Structure 1
Amino acid sequence: MRFLIAFAAVLGYASASAILPLAHLGINAGDAQAAAIDATVAAQDHARAAIEGNLRANEAAVQWNTEAVRQAAEASRDINENAYWNGVAASQNVVAAAQSQAAALNGIAAARAGLWGAHVAPVGPVAAWGAPLLHGGLGIHGAALRAW
């Protein structure tokens, strides 16, 4: 762009120095000077248009980059949000599975207690190796357990 502006200035000075020899050819000096001024103005207009086009292109590039960054940030936010909610759902599934397993084990303990008689009832959770803790009946390793 600077080159075009410098070129227009040089063209103006060169046209002024070229006016004198044209006088011998019968060309009016005023017409030659007006033509030189017109050429200078046209070159300056062309340089200005090129600069404005460059500015528009730069602005469009900045807008495109800004939009691309916004879209990338939004995609990242969506990915992180989905990962968070997937983690919440997975932890809820684990809790539900543990509760289901505990209910099944309590059901087994209640069924075993029902098989041993009405006086035997489960007191608490099933022991780690599957033997129910029983009130008034046989518990772990055959020891008698009492409710306190």
Structure 2
Amino acid sequence: MMYYEDLELNQSKISEQTHEVTAEEIKEFAGQWDPVPFHLDEDIAKASPMGGLFASSLHTVAIGTRLGHSMINGEIAMLAGLGWDELRFPKPVMVGDVLRCKSEIVDKRVSNSKPDRGIVVTQMTVTNQNEEVVATYKFTNMVFRKPA
């Protein structure tokens, strides 16, 4: 198990796992969580500025989250998510894109109110098969410190 003390600033990791986005998945996710016509109907999507069916931003974050979890395999003594910041989508995720995730620890500190815990900020970058960035965000987590 990795604790707060085991996590170093600038420590980075790239997911070995990737995720290929399909038209069916885009439509299924959008139908349940973001039912906008250009995420549901290929003809409408073709007429959009994207020129084809593309994933919703929520779907992109969900994929990035899953890929992020694949990198830690439950090995970090994480207690809670505290927030997300600076969420950006510089390029759409299109049908057939294969996504990968990179994480980098950009800040950490011991909790002021709970000294047995630390606060860790991680920069996440999701890229497609061409190494083009499709999403970036920072998330802040509470992590247990090593037991005394």
Q: TM-score range by the shorter chain?
A: under 0.3
TM-score by length of 1: 0.23
TM norm structure 2: 0.23
- If asked which structure has higher relative contact order (CA below 8 Å, sep 6+), I would say 2
Higher normalized helix content (fraction of residues): 1
The structure that has the greater radius of gyration is: 1
**If each structure's strand is expressed as a fraction of its own residues, which one has the higher value?**
2
